[in-house]
Structure 1
């Protein structure tokens, strides 16, 4: 008999799956969404609608695969290609780990930027403090503890940005129309790609399929659907808040503009949101790299290699954070790697959730799920090639 979904288990599932929202709402998301609002008002809001539902679709498929087969996405890939599995797994892990390490510096710097705006304390001290708290939480080894903690932080961050957005003066009618009306104003393509690419993140598919083994199908669908939807709404409120910003874009300018337009509380709430976005992503990037290693390479969460993975990712982020250096060459390489990785992982996932030998009919994709996933595969393939082109051009 199917397990009944109670209110308590439903809320717990939403908190647990908020780890996915925490992973894609980082300083990059705050920057991209705020710049989109500042430059194009509400015209690019539709891109967040598409990417939010695309993320729900792909994350649900990855988690459903694990619930049905007992195998994570990485384990399915590793077992499906015989002699080729070892180098395929190694390449996928290398690409994911490179991306996580490259963006970890930005996560920590974003968190420190928010704290600096709030407190005025020296950046080096704040960097060490953020890193120490992240290491302490990750060392506990419990993904459920981390996920629930991140869920609470994401919720508070959402309230902060929503409060700013509600005071931006945008009408509900204009907001609703922009949600569903595709628009490509001149010179907007890069930001559209950024809005979609910052939400549909390839390593989140490994992270989601690697941590969600102990839930019912109903709990998983409810948790992922609502958690990602909340994350998408937070991104949308950041874009709406960005419509208040004029002039050159920087975190300090954003805080000053919001304070001047709405009061000092708005600047402080933005600073807290920036800190929360950076801090939650600074936790999830190392965790995603380690879970991907567990999934693709079979390393246990209590093993030394597993902990070394997240320690190296965290250490690289802290090093660049303390030096105040932007690791541009590494980030460009990571963009190219993730640009190729996203459509490839999506194709692997599409094949797995249609595998009759692996899944019974209840867990395989329906016709509409296949159509929707093929649409996302097409868009992500375009994004991947576009990201590679941008990275090579840079």
Structure 2
């Protein structure tokens, strides 16, 4: 289907080596079609439970108990809306978000957008590299600087699995997510939270608005939820399905892809809520109200829960999160470079470049300053992400609302309105967080 709203041909397909490599049957029961689309949503969900989010959830649970669970819920709803637009863009137009930006804007605009996206992905990868290194340190005692170097090996793992088929990459990610879920389930059973308070935590409360410290942390949870690389990633990997070329085929594909991402993001909500619940039940309930560092949480779990296995489960979950996040971040890096510049590099070379850019500053800081330096580097990476976020969300909402570009598959008006409201909220919160970072409010608030 050729759409008049695009100025030029798409060029080479997104992730061309696996483009439409997963067959989708045009006949058969609905559950079989749904299973064919099962996978990409979980790669996207990884970004919503990466190590960069753990500290915020730990701080929220340890300081305010279960009260901020409602914020995690609102963040998840926003993520569902935006990721559904990513799937719609990729399926309806055959373009990922990077390719769409290259087509829609002149080079004087698209090239700076590419540069900002690359910086954001490097910042994302930096957080995942540090998180993985901390997980290796907590679990095996490997020094942080050595752990940072070890994370480079995932380049070869991704290449090997992708050569076997994209389903293998999805299987690895989903398996690691399963391990994470089991680890937190066991820890929560050990912690024995107050389930009545957990349920009440998902209800809105005026305390979030009236308490400045709680408001600041709530803004952090929402503002750091949607990451730029996830928007590029989803619009690319959804095209690994061979869903057909007719409008009805694509309409059906959008429905199943949205179902996949919605279920996967609900799983991500469960994991994020589990971190907050664990912190509330283990730390807040025992008077440890300022637990923010991953290492502190790890060391306190054993004496508080009365089990030596609890910190090991925490470290295993962190390591799995870090490994998963590095896989998806490097894949997003490939989509961004190829989409914006229409330059094709060997997949191993592209991933190696992305990883080296992230490893060099991470290794330098860990060698020079140790764990305290990595914590500061994580904060800086989140600020970089907040700066880039509007330049990914705004084009996404505009493209999917444009009938000339989307044709009959243009986003419904109600969905565009919800996405626009979500965009305004996220951008405003990120601007607020950036302002607080510059003025130093976060320090005065205790974070």
* Fold match (TM-score > 0.5): yes
Please tell me the root mean square deviation across aligned C-alpha atoms, in Å: 2.8
1:100 Cα shift?
2.5
User: Deviation per CA, 1:310-349, whole angstroms, max 9, x where unpaired?
Assistant: 2433543663476265378976765454323223322211
User: Deviation per CA, 1:244-286, whole angstroms, max 9, x where unpaired?
Assistant: 1215533333123221232122221111111112222222223
The residue number in structure 1 matching 2:400 is: 353
Question: 1:195 and 2:221 equivalent?
Answer: yes
Compare 121-130 and 106-115 and name the one that shifted more.
121-130
1:99 Cα shift?
2.4
The residue number in structure 1 matching 2:332 is: 288
Distance 1:336 1:99, change over 3 A: same
Distance 1:69 1:105, change over 3 A: closer
Question: 1:37 and 2:74 equivalent?
Answer: no
1:137 to 146, 149, 157: 157
Bigger radius of gyration, 1 or 2?
2
1:379 to 418, 425, 441: 425
Specify every segment of 5 or more residues in structure 2 that has no aligned partner in the other structure, as ranges: 1-24, 242-252, 441-447
Contact 1:141 1:301 in 2 (8 A): no
Contact 2:130 2:374 in 1 (8 A): no
Question: 1:106 and 2:153 equivalent?
Answer: no
The residue number in structure 2 matching 1:370 is: 416
Distance 1:117 1:339, change over 3 A: closer
Question: 1:312 and 2:338 equivalent?
Answer: no
Compare 321-330 and 179-188 and name the one that shifted more.
321-330
The residue number in structure 2 matching 1:94 is: 115
Correspondence 1:228-307 to 2 at 5 A: 228-243=265-280, 244-245=282-283, 246=288, 248-249=290-291, 250-262=293-305, 263-300=307-344, 302=346, 306-307=350-351
Contact 1:299 1:306 in 2 (8 A): no
Distance 1:57 1:131, change over 3 A: same
Aligned residues: 389
Contact 1:114 1:275 in 2 (8 A): yes
Distance in 2 of aligned mates of 1:60 and 1:66? 10
Counterpart secondary structure, 2:239? coil
Correspondence 1:211-226 to 2 at 5 A: 211-215=237-241, 216-226=253-263
Distance in 2 of aligned mates of 1:36 and 1:158? 20
Distance in 2 of aligned mates of 1:340 and 1:121? 33
Compare 184-193 and 321-330 and name the one that shifted more.
321-330
Specify every segment of 5 or more residues in structure 1 that has no aligned partner in the other structure, as ranges: none
Distance 1:356 1:180, change over 3 A: same
Contact 2:96 2:235 in 1 (8 A): yes
User: Deviation per CA, 1:201-248, whole angstroms, max 9, x where unpaired?
Assistant: 122101111211143223311211111110111001000011112155
User: Deviation per CA, 1:163-201, whole angstroms, max 9, x where unpaired?
Assistant: 322443333332222223144133123321221133211
Distance in 2 of aligned mates of 1:337 and 1:175? 33
Distance in 1 of aligned mates of 2:27 and 2:47? 29
Distance in 1 of aligned mates of 2:28 and 2:433? 43
